[in-house]
Structure formats: structure tokens, C-alpha cells
Structure 1
């Protein structure tokens, strides 16, 4: 394919440019300084810190991912994934991924009141988020960040709609302490953003971006919980030797390190293709998400085990991360369904023609 020849090297190169390193470093510094675990705990049970969110919005966390025509900086999915990874590293109580994906979708739609709701996400409030499942008439659905949102973008039949509410619906308590709420996207004040094939394409793109950015956040979470486990083993001894010197401890941690590295590369690759060649490797979207869920779950489980009895207490930061990975992994439904999605994509003639085991 001549039009993709210039991207051949980038397809297999996971290194970051100087600008990308600068973006990653900027947000890593912000989260490290502004979001210790004490602040994460203080935001419970709702799982939302409005002051932290306002500070992140002022840094351009949402606007950076918008096209220049919508007042953004034109950052790609790769840069957004880098920010999402740092967000996941500190499990920040802010609706970063929800706001970014909804704003990018509204920017693609244009017209109507889209600009108004984009501005809300860019400035921090009022918030618009994405309903992750197509609307079933008469059925409500749990919406990520729905308890702090005033509007939801949803696919209702052949229409992509914007459903607004004067106030966010009530918070639904959950172990992951995410700001979930029930929304009925078939009711309330509605505006049709797109119809037919265009509506379905916009929704599929938005959902794919949500999954890639959530995968990146889970990679950051896994990396940090691995670090917490490793640091713990440096300060504990058993039978006169450091706990970390035991193969039953060191080998599982090493396995997690390998898994995190692979998950990071796969997620960045999925982000790159989603931005530059979305039709070439569509299977990378469910692959990166399913793999990141598995990686983060393994990392949290190992982190708990290496800390022994302390790891299972609510006071342990590892338990805090364990609860987040369980909650985040369930937001879009059963993660094992992604395996079916991978098979469905690869079974289509277009995907089969563009994919091979060596690609």
C-alpha cells in the first residue's frame, strides 16, 4: 500500500519523540505532585475531585486532543495514551478518558450545540461523557462518570444523540469508587448529532478510543502496583534474607514487568493505528484493551500477595489499586467479550486481507 509506506518504520517502533517525552513528563510531574494516594482516598466514595479536575483541564488535558478547527492542539491518540498512562499510574479521581473521548466525538459531529458541550469538557464543567453501550429502548445503563455529567453521547438505533439533563443523576455506590450513574439515553432532552452509517461509525470510533485510552490507564496502574510490590520486598526479611530474594516473590514480579512492557507496546501500537490507519488493524483495539485488563489484574494480584497479610488490608495502597482495576475493567462489560470481538474483526474479509501473524 503506497500510501502507508512512509509509516512502515513507525509501525514497529515504540520509541517516543522528544515532544512526546515532554508531554509524558509534564503530566507525570503534575500527577505526582497533585495526586498522592491520600487525595485519591479523600475523593471516595464518589471518586471525583473537582479541584484536581479543574487543574488538569487548565493544563489542556482535553483540548490537546481536539483538532485545531475545534480550538484544540491536534494531539494524536499516541500523546493522549501517554497522558492516560500517567493518569492510571496515580488512579486520579478525574473523568479524563470520558471527557476526552466525548469531546473528540462532538468535534467530529460539529454543528448544533456541540461547541457548547465541547467547551464544557475543555474547561472542566459541565461534563459530557460517552454511553458505552447502544441504547436498548426502555433500558437504562450505567455510564462512566455519569454521576458528574450533564450530558451523554449515545447511539440510539441509527442515531447518535446528545442527551442532556439539568442535574447529574444519583451516584451508584461501587467497590471501584467510580462516579457511576444510571442514564436512560432514550429519554430526556435529545439532539440528533448524526444518523445512519455515519452515526454508527462515529460511535465505533469513540468506543475504540475509549478502550485504547482505558488500556493505557490500566498499563500505568499495573506499572505502579508492580513498583509498590517491589518496594515492599526491599524492606522486609524472612529467615534472615530479603523477601525479594525468594524466587516465589521475585519471579512473579519479573513476570509482571514483562507483561507491563508488552501491554504498553501493544497499547501504543493500537493508539498509533487508530490515529493514522484506523482501517488497517482494527483488531488492535480490542486486543490492547483485553490484554491491559489481564495485565493490570495480574499485577494487582501479585502486588497483594507479595505484601502478605498487609496487602489485603484497606490501609494498603495496593488494595486501593486492586479495587480500581476491578472497577475500571468492568465499565464496558465483561472483558472476555473482547476476545469474541477480536475474532469477529479477524473473520471479516477486509480485516483478514490486511492481517497476517507476522504483520
Structure 2
């Protein structure tokens, strides 16, 4: 048997991975309750939470050992992303991890401050971003920003951080103009550099998908707990088919999306040319299903669900906004379709 054959079909976690996910589940539950998430909404970022997260090694684990990292696999990183999404943690971990991994591949991860997270690195996660001004999801809190400019990969630095732009994902987004940067450094250019950036975008979509898996599962928990304790005509509303069947559908989405995301992570790490668009496929699926699941959670709670202070409403806006940080998810869908058509 091919030594990878079992792993292609097996989505079980190792004991170490189970412990890793449990540790970050405990961390985010304790340090990122909804009150912290709400308080961070004006800036889209909780600096104290970020420093605590970095102290756990969450940024260094993602990087190769030759730059001071711990060499974690992409499957490992999806486990952290899932727990981040479950609590809506207001930290730019996904952007920073993906950008710093790109810098490492380009031999441009030139300071331990990036490895440890003391310097935040952002990136533009959109396909074929047009030249000039673009909206970067973590642009208002980043110390360095990596973008693709034509066939060049460029690092931008600003003496004054750009102002945050309000958005439904409650992200620390900002408009970034490469021409207005105080320092602009070309890191690499040509087809290989573009290929490395495209690989980074796949990783961003992968980890965003994992975060949305956690988000969707938590919306299911919110809705199910309410449905079990809300009575009508003497029975819990969870016993009604109009409630129980949609909630069962969300459970199916969670399990299917989690398997797809872990499969995508494994292939992207081990056989990237065999299934090159699995991460994009997971992203497209969750960009559609996450808002639907979060909307159902709101509907289950009726008028309470649409209240501004409702947990369900907090999940709904992020379910809609996080995927859009990478541009139109339809662009990823087109890439998936083109890839399959080329192989047909």
C-alpha cells in the first residue's frame, strides 16, 4: 500500500493534535468570551488577547524550524483556526500566520518579532488584486503588509498605520495604497513568486474555512440550546420538525466541512499538485453555508435573535463578513471549476 493511501481517507486526529485543539479551545473560551469580542469591535482587535495568544506559541508554531518556528502542519493550524472561529476571537492570527509563512518561503522572515508576533504582518488575500488601493483585512493593525503588485511580491511599511474601515466582519480592515507606503520593498518577482503568493492565498482560504467550521458549530450550539429550553404548547420547540430538521442540516454541514477542510490541509501539505483547489472548494462551500447556518440560529430565537446584544447576531455578521475579506467567493468557485475542467 502507498504510504499515504490511508491518510488520504483518514480524518482522525493524533493524540497530540487532540490535545492541541483542546488546549486552544480552553484558551479561547477563557480569554475571548462574547464580552471581549463586543468590546473589541470598534477597532476590530484586542491587543491584550493577541499578546496572550502569541505567548502560547500560536504564531511561531506555524513557521518552519529554520526561521525559529516549530514546524506545525497545516492540519495543526486548522485546529487552532477552528477554535478561534468558535469564539469569534478578535485577533488577526490567520492573516499573520499566512503572511509570515509566505515571508519564510521567500527568505524574508528577517526578524524574530515576526515569529513571536510582536510585529503583525498582514496580506491582501484576494485573487488578482487590481493595482493601487485595496482593502486589506488586517491593514489597520499591521506593522508590515505583504501584497502582490503585478508579478512582484512587495512588503509595505507605513509610519502611521492606516485608519480602520468599518465592515460587517468586524475586522481591523484598512484601505492600503502601495504607492503611499513610506517604505516599499520588493521581496521577489516572476512566475515563481506569483506561485508562492497563490499558495499563500490557498492557505488563507483553508484557515478561514476552518474558522468558519468553528463558527458554524457554535451557531448550532446556540440555536440548539435555545430550542431545548424554549417551550410551545407544552413541548420544547426542538421537537418541531421546522426547527429540528434545519438544525440537523447544520450538524451535517459541520461534519462534512470539517472533513473537507482537514483533507484540504493534508493535501496542501503533502501532495499540493494532486488536489490543488481543495482549500478553495472548502472556502466556497463554507462561504455559502456559514451565513445560512447563522441565519437559522437567528430564526430559531425569533425576535431575540435579531437583537443587537444577541450572540446569534454577532455570529451572523461575521459569518457573512469573514469570507468576503478575500473578495468575492465566486472568484474562488471559478478557480475550482477551471481546475476540474482542465483535468477532465
TM-score range with shorter-chain normalisation?
over 0.9
2:196 maps to what in 1?
202
Structure 2 residue matching 1:336: 3-state secondary structure: helix
What SS does the aligned partner of 1:149 have? coil
Contact between 1:263 and 1:295, CA under 8 Å: does it hold in 2? no
Once the two structures are superposed, the pairs formed by residues 56-135 of structure 1 within 5 Å of their partners are: 56-111=53-108, 114-116=109-111, 119-133=112-126, 134-135=128-129
Tell me how large the CA RMSD over aligned residues is: 1.3
- Give the whole-Å Cα distance in 1 for the aligned partners of 2:106 and 2:54: 22
Structure 1 CA distance for aligned equivalents of residues 147 and 170 of structure 2: 23
Contact 1:152–1:185, Cα closer than 8 Å, also in 2:
no
SS in structure 2 of the partner of residue 153 of structure 1: strand
**1:172 aligned partner:** 165
TM-score, normalisation: structure 2? 0.96
Deviation of 1:338 after TM superposition, in Å, equals: 2.1
- Are the aligned partners of 2:61 and 2:69 in contact in 1 as well (CA < 8 Å)? yes
The alignment partner of 2:140 has SS state of: helix
8 Å CA contact 1:135–1:185 kept in 2: the answer is no
Aligned residues: 342
Verify: 1:237 aligned to 2:231, yes or no. Answer: yes
CA distance in 2, matches of 1:233, 1:30: 28
Matched, 1:34 2:31: yes
The alpha carbon displacement at 1:135 in A equals 4.9
Is 1:227 aligned with 2:214? no
Task: Tell me how far 1:45 sits from its aligned partner.
Answer: 1.8
C-alpha separation in 2, matches of 1:261 and 1:309: 29
After TM superposition, the score normalised by the length of structure 1 is 0.92
For residues 135 and 290 of structure 1, the distance between their equivalents in structure 2, rounded to whole angstroms, comes to 18
Q: CA shift at 1:157, angstroms?
A: 1.3
Q: Cα distance 1:282–1:186, how it changes in 2: closer, same or farther (>3 A)?
A: farther
Contact 2:68 2:115 in 1 (8 A): no
Determine whether 1:271 maps to 2:268: no
| Structure-2 separation of matches of 1:261 and 1:185 | 41
Of 291-300 and 72-81, more deviation after overlay is shown by 291-300
1 CA distance for matches of 2:35 and 2:180? 39
Shift of 1:120: 3.0
Question: How far, CA to CA, are the matches of 2:83 and 2:262 in structure 1?
Answer: 14
Rate the CA distance shift 1:149–1:253 in 2: closer, same or farther, 3 A. same
1:18 aligns with 2:15: yes
Structure 2 unmatched ranges of 5 or more: none
Find the counterpart in structure 2 of residue 262 from structure 1. 256
1:248 is aligned to 242
Task: Give per-residue Cα distances to partners, 1:39-96, cap 9 Å, x unaligned.
Answer: 1001112221000000001111111011110101110100000100000000000001
Q: Is the 8 A contact 1:54 1:123 kept in 2?
A: no
In the alignment, structure 1 residue 332 sits paired with structure 2 residue 321? no
1:6 & 1:281 partners in 2: Cα distance? 17
Aligned to 1:45, the other structure's residue is in SS state: coil
1:140 corresponds, among 130, 133, 136, to 133
2:276 corresponds to which residue?
282
